[in-house]
Structure 1
Amino acid sequence: MEVSEVLHMNGGHGDSGYASNSLIQGKVISMTKEVREEAITSMYCNMFPATTICVAELGCSSGPNALLVATEVMRTVEKIRRKLGRQSSPEFQIYLNDLPGNDFNSIFQSLPRVVQELKEEIGPCFFAGVPASFYGRLFPTMSMHFVHSSYSLMWSSQVPKGVGNLNKENIYMASTSPPSVIQAYYEQFQKDFSIFLRCRSEELVDGGRMVLTFLGRASDDPTSKEGGHIWHLLAIALEQMVSEGLIAKEKLYSFNIPQYIPSPLEVKKEVEKEGSYTINRLGASEINWAACGENNNEGGYSVAKCMRSVVEPLLIGHFGEAVMDILFRKYGEVLNDRMSKEETKFVNVTISVTRRERKGMKDV
């Protein structure tokens, strides 16, 4: 089964839905607000007197975070417009992108109220859904002014070729993974991210801005805890189910997470290699796993609910739906035990770039 067919967050607003379990993703978006405001300010000041500003949210998913950045962009531009004394507000075209399996319906159902509020507060805005992989072209050439993505680009377009059963009980890169597996994961990241950058470079106008946040790592070691620890603990829960005869060992050995958690240096290298962008800011931040829940006392169980909303469709596609409740109960127990014994954090890598001026296009 193709990754693009099963890689999507749980839809709806139920107990295991992404909309109800995406608190930490929203906090990460809030943590990077200063970077976006700087990028948006620069973009608007340089693009004036553009009458329409086109914005893309890539990997929008659903729930309260889907429209968070889009509305923030509009309010930031309006604040700058008033400060500069410019008479007319630009119109906004907002594109919400994710894979076709995403719960776009829940977003669309909330749009009429949001659009009306923004129209009264700022002015005309228009929203459109773009169901497709961002590892390919999404928009016309030189049409986008601002592109944003948060906690989406660490997902790969596919499980790295050649990994197969070599990783055994590891479902992601680990210290016991063969060197060929680690190399395959890195090469898949390089291929995917280079395609992403090239496609966006064609779609952004000269001077257009892009802000990307990855689930990342600070260490140069791709098998370090801060990178794949969350997956290592899921592998432990899966191993328990194998030992109890609930999952076949062959099923576990053939399952690998299609994700690469990069370091700031790895992100920087790919951007510089592609060559179309100037890097304005690049940095890392941290957030505790406990931020997944509103009540820190819930510990690992709130983290398990968050992870379930993210990865369950992928797991169902491989292991079947019947074992999910047991798996995530065990996962919550494993997480709770580990979080009671050690400090657990996610690392976020954020980069802000500007599309360089195209050669020979200055007078066009």
Structure 2
Amino acid sequence: MGKRIEGILHMVGGAGETSYASNSKFQEKVLHMAKPILEEAIGGVYMSLLPERMAVVDLGCSSGPNTLEVVSEVLDVIGKLRRSLGRQEMPEILFFLNDFPGNDFNHVFRSLGDYKRKVEEEKGKLLVPYYVVGVPGSFYGRLFPSQSVHFFNASSCLNWLSQVPEGEQGVLLNNKNIYVAETSPLEVVKAYQDQRQRDLSEFLRCRHAELTYGARMVLSFVGRKASYPPWGDMGHLFGLLAEALSALVSQGIIEEDKLVTFNLPYYAPSMEEVKAVIHREDSIVSGKNVVGYMRASFQPLIAEHFGDAILDELFSIYAANISRHLLQQKSKHYQFVISLKKKEKKKEEEEADGDAAAAAAAW
């Protein structure tokens, strides 16, 4: 089992010179770029569901000036939509801020007092009631009850893997690289790709279970245009960091064995890789839906002939077969809808007489 990062990873806390709060301009830029998509998604959820209570989750919230940006965006969109619709009801919004347990939640909570005063001044009567809580834990697992969340946001956090990738023999030997590089063995490249696929699949499965019907999710993360992982810009960026570490090895400051066994649990996927996982998960969900219908309809007949003992294993294999089929092609089923109308009695008799006369003439 590779080294999981849940108990290790966190951004540098506080508000000092090296803190995440003082060095998150790039992440702020990503949030601003995603703002139109965020507004459309939040507004779409509110307009379609008009919930009295709305659960909004910011995954990988970290700490610093960006942490409450999503809170502000949601309050702004809901407040304006409520007024434009002329609704008197004040929806209550519960914000869940999620990150690893080591996150500086204290810094976040200390900032809530100033934040409350600021939004009350800015939004005035448009401000709807809201509540903010922290939820420590990995988003590569379940965090909330089934069908309880109306909106998920995950910005600049899904590049982190759940664990350091590992090979068949355990620790990946990566030619003193700390990420996928042009000199990385193919085993290393495949291990990173496989870990990304497993993690994103698990993430999507968990969020699908937690989202209520009609809910939405916005994801933003660093990707790459190149098809081969080592050719991406992140490979060059981490390559320079690996060179710096090698320089410290040369100076005897760090041990070479430490560098040889160090790999970052981070990955920038291509759009094709992301689409493949999403499509695969869609097929798995669709497969389970089909199996649910088929089992509910045909289980009694199958059980009577083959016995009850095989049912779970049978339909598990069947679900895998359907998912594999849906990955290859989209199934189409024709549904006929026929409307029939009973004729009036007089017309029935006239047509009957006509048919009898025709029959007699034929004889």
> TM-score range with shorter-chain normalisation?
0.7 to 0.9
Change in 2 beyond 3 A, CA 1:260/1:239: same
2:222 pairs with 1:215: yes
Report the TM-score, using the length of structure 1 for normalisation: 0.73
Tell me the equivalent position of 2:143. 138
2:163 pairs with 1:161: no
| Alignment deviations for residues 21-72 of structure 1 (CA, whole Å, 9 cap, x no partner) | 1111111100110111111111111111x10111000000000011101211
Tell me the equivalent position of 1:23. 25
SS in 1 for 2:267: coil
Counterpart-to-counterpart distance in 1, 2:150 and 2:172? 43
Which of the pair has more CA radius of gyration?
2
Counterpart-to-counterpart distance in 2, 1:85 and 1:244? 69
Counterpart-to-counterpart distance in 1, 2:276 and 2:172? 30
The CA deviation at 1:266 is 1.3
2:41 pairs with 1:39: yes
The AA in structure 2 aligned to 1:142 is Q
The AA in structure 1 aligned to 2:87 is R
Counterpart-to-counterpart distance in 1, 2:250 and 2:87? 67
Contact 1:99–1:131 under 8 Å retained in 2: yes
Moved over 3 A (4+): 115-121
The CA deviation at 1:118 is 4.1
Report the TM-score, using the length of structure 2 for normalisation: 0.73
Contact 2:46–2:78 under 8 Å retained in 1: yes
Change in 2 beyond 3 A, CA 1:35/1:80: same
Tell me the equivalent position of 1:8. 10
Counterpart-to-counterpart distance in 2, 1:208 and 1:277? 20
Highest relative contact order (Cα 8 Å, sep 6+), 1 or 2?
Answer: 1
The CA deviation at 1:123 is 2.3
Tell me the equivalent position of 1:359. none
The AA in structure 1 aligned to 2:46 is Y
| Alignment deviations for residues 119-139 of structure 1 (CA, whole Å, 9 cap, x no partner) | 655121111100000000001
Change in 2 beyond 3 A, CA 1:118/1:89: farther
Change in 2 beyond 3 A, CA 1:115/1:277: farther
Tell me the equivalent position of 2:92. 91
Instruction: Decide which of 172, 177, 185 is 2:184's aligned counterpart.
Output: 177
| Alignment deviations for residues 194-228 of structure 1 (CA, whole Å, 9 cap, x no partner) | 11100000100111100001111122111113232
The CA deviation at 1:168 is 2.2
Instruction: Decide which of 255, 273, 281 is 1:248's aligned counterpart.
Output: 255
The AA in structure 2 aligned to 1:77 is I
The CA deviation at 1:275 is 1.3
2:243 pairs with 1:236: yes
The CA deviation at 1:264 is 1.5
Tell me the equivalent position of 1:260. 267
Counterpart-to-counterpart distance in 2, 1:227 and 1:242? 23
2:127 pairs with 1:122: yes
Contact 2:4–2:164 under 8 Å retained in 1: no
Tell me the equivalent position of 1:193. 200
Counterpart-to-counterpart distance in 1, 2:32 and 2:18? 23
The AA in structure 1 aligned to 2:88 is Q
SS in 1 for 2:229: coil
Instruction: Decide which of 149, 152, 176 is 1:147's aligned counterpart.
Output: 152
Counterpart-to-counterpart distance in 2, 1:130 and 1:277? 29
More strand by share: 1
The AA in structure 1 aligned to 2:142 is R
Counterpart-to-counterpart distance in 1, 2:25 and 2:224? 20
Counterpart-to-counterpart distance in 2, 1:136 and 1:200? 9
The AA in structure 2 aligned to 1:91 is E
The AA in structure 1 aligned to 2:105 is F
More helix by share: 2
Counterpart-to-counterpart distance in 1, 2:231 and 2:88? 53
Give 5+ residue unaligned stretches, structure 2.
Answer: 286-363
The AA in structure 1 aligned to 2:176 is E
Give 5+ residue unaligned stretches, structure 1.
Answer: 279-364
The CA deviation at 1:88 is 2.2
User: What percentage of aligned pairs have identical amino acids?
Assistant: 48
Contact 2:31–2:155 under 8 Å retained in 1: yes
Counterpart-to-counterpart distance in 2, 1:2 and 1:201? 23
Instruction: Decide which of 224, 234, 247 is 2:231's aligned counterpart.
Output: 224
Residue-pair matches, total? 277
| Alignment deviations for residues 228-264 of structure 1 (CA, whole Å, 9 cap, x no partner) | 2221110011111111111111111110000111112
